[in-house]
Copies of this chain bind each other. A is one copy, B any other.
Amino acid sequence: MIFEEVAADSVYVGGVSHGKFVRFKLEHMARTLPGPVVREWWVKAVDELIAPFVKDRGYDWEVTIDEVPADLWSIQGQIPPPFESHAEKRWVKENKVSPYGLQEKLSVGALFAPGVTLE
């Protein structure tokens, strides 16, 4: 998260200088929000989250969330592991970025086990 102070006379809303305006720009790079219900829920969840710092302090505000390509994203030189993979679980648990191999890219919910075969 990057906070960036902007001089009041450098922000215009509707063509008028606005000294108490906060513009939020979120980037979702890991996942996209699936379906209209979850998308609306998330927009409202974000708004509740920021309210104490913005609405409750008398600021005006606007939020946009962009969804950028997950496969064009890297941290510390590592392309993050697949959704719900073993490597993703490990990253979350260790709370840091580290290398992972093909085996760890498999889903934790994968059915492949002894006795289970692909058709």
Residues on A facing B (Cβ under 8 Å): 1-6, 10-14, 23, 27, 29, 33, 36, 39-40, 42-44, 46-47, 51, 55, 60-69, 71-77, 79, 95
How many copies of this protein are present in the complex? 3
Q: How far is the CB of A31 from chain B (nearest CB, A)?
A: 13
Would you call A47 and B4 a contact (CB within 8 A)?
A: no
Indicate if the CB atoms of A11 and B1 lie closer than 8 Å: yes
Docked CA distance A72–B55 (Å): 19
Pair B36/A71 contact, Cβ less than 8 Å: yes
Q: Are A43 and B73 in contact (CB under 8 A)?
A: yes
Dominant secondary structure of chain A at its interface with chain B: mixed
Contact of A65 among B63, B67, B69 (CB under 8 A): B69
CB-CB < 8 A to A4: which residues of B? 6, 10
Contacts of A68 in B (CB 8 A): 64-67
Interface contact A47-B74, CB-CB below 8 Å: yes
Q: Which residues of B contact A74 (CB under 8 A)?
A: 43-44, 46-47, 62-63
Task: Indicate if the CB atoms of A75 and B62 lie closer than 8 Å.
Answer: yes
Nearest opposing residue in chain B for A66, CB measure: B68
A19 to chain B, nearest CB (A): 13
